[in-house]
Amino acid sequence: MRIRNNGLLLLCILLFLTSSCTKQPERGELPEISRGNTTGNASNGGMVCQQGDWIYYYLDNSTNHGIYKIRTNGTEGIIVIHGYADNINVGEDGLYYIGGYHSSILKLAFGKDQTTVICNDIVRDMSIVEDWIYFNTYHPESGIFRIRTDGTKKIKLTEDTGYCMNVTNDWVYYIDSEYKKKLYKMRVDGTERMKVCDDHISFINVVGDWIYYTNPEDSGRLYKMRTDGTDKMKITEDIARIFNVSDSWVYYRSGLDHKKLYKIRIDGTDRTKLMDDQPFEFEHISVVEDWVYCHSRANKVFRVHTDGTDFQLVE
């Protein structure tokens, strides 16, 4: 009987030690939700997107304009979709984008040659999170909607015609109109709609627990605040009407230095010019791996490493 008790006690001790030595998952270590593009790239029109070792990007050159793909090492470049496109997202089964004559949501399934129409609405912005596409439209009716990636279950989330939409952590963040410029958020099912702050805001990028934004009331300077609207702070005295937040850095177009490409840490330190001799003025900034892609209004493209080296014209 004593032997049995000692054995039972030893078993309990071993189970306790095993369970205590097993690392439990923390909130920050949970698997990232599958999304079609980063919030920073989506805010910049979704002109570039990455899946695995492929980079997809829109290019308008003199012969073939459309979506191209290239290996991350710069090889095997090829056009995959002809015609204008933006808001590129990569889903589990294909490439999604806004394109066509009516700016509809289209899909090119992997291994296929023909695109299919997911939604015929005139769409301005869209983002894929898991198997939902979130988008805003002003025709045939205005508002923010979501629809399954297979084109079913279209649901209207709000009457607002919000723009600069960021979908992250079960919330949809958006600026309610180009005139009022108030920042709102709501749950991904359309509930709990609320104003985040009363400031005028013209551009946002939501990363983690922070909203990075351009403040037009301060000449377009770069600010950040928590997702509940608290702890507002200015990041830099520079003017940054276009930016992209990635890996603790903000990449932006400087309004104080002839619209050159800069980066600065999210705490406002280490402000660095990445390029001095830019080939053209750019309107969109996309970040994939250690590359920064810049698109002009005419959709000419250059890229440079995040440390400012190895400038390349993308042709």
The DSSP letter of residue 216 is G
Phi and psi based region of residue 168 (left: phi greater than 0; alpha: psi -120 to 50; beta: remaining): beta
* Contact between 43 and 205 (Cβ < 8 Å): yes
Could you tell me which residues come within 8 angstroms of residue 240 by beta carbon, excluding any fewer than 6 positions away?
Answer: 214, 220, 221, 222, 250, 252, 253, 254, 255
Q: Where are the domains positioned within the chain?
A: 33-314
Kind and range of the H or E run holding 119: strand 116-119
Phi and psi based region of residue 270 (left: phi greater than 0; alpha: psi -120 to 50; beta: remaining): left
pLDDT value, residue 29: 29
Give how far Cα 5 sits from Cα of 1, 2, 304, Å: 6, 5, 69
Q: What pTM was estimated for this model as a whole?
A: 0.87
Task: State phi, psi for 208 to the nearest 5 degrees.
Answer: 65, -130
Query: Per-residue confidence of the chain (315 residues) as pLDDT tens digits?
Result: 333 444 444 444 343 433 333 333 332 223 345 899 999 999 999 999 999 899 999 998 777 889 999 998 888 889 999 999 999 999 989 999 999 888 999 999 998 989 999 999 999 999 999 999 999 998 888 999 999 999 999 999 999 988 999 999 999 999 997 667 899 999 999 999 999 999 999 999 999 999 999 999 999 999 999 999 999 999 999 999 999 999 999 999 999 999 999 999 999 999 999 998 899 999 999 999 899 999 998 888 999 999 999 999 987
As its CATH architecture, domain 33-314 has 6 Propeller (2.120)
The angle subtended at Cα 131 by Cα 125 and Cα 132, nearest 5°, is 35
pLDDT value, residue 20: 39
pLDDT value, residue 30: 31
Terminal C-alpha separation, the chain: 82
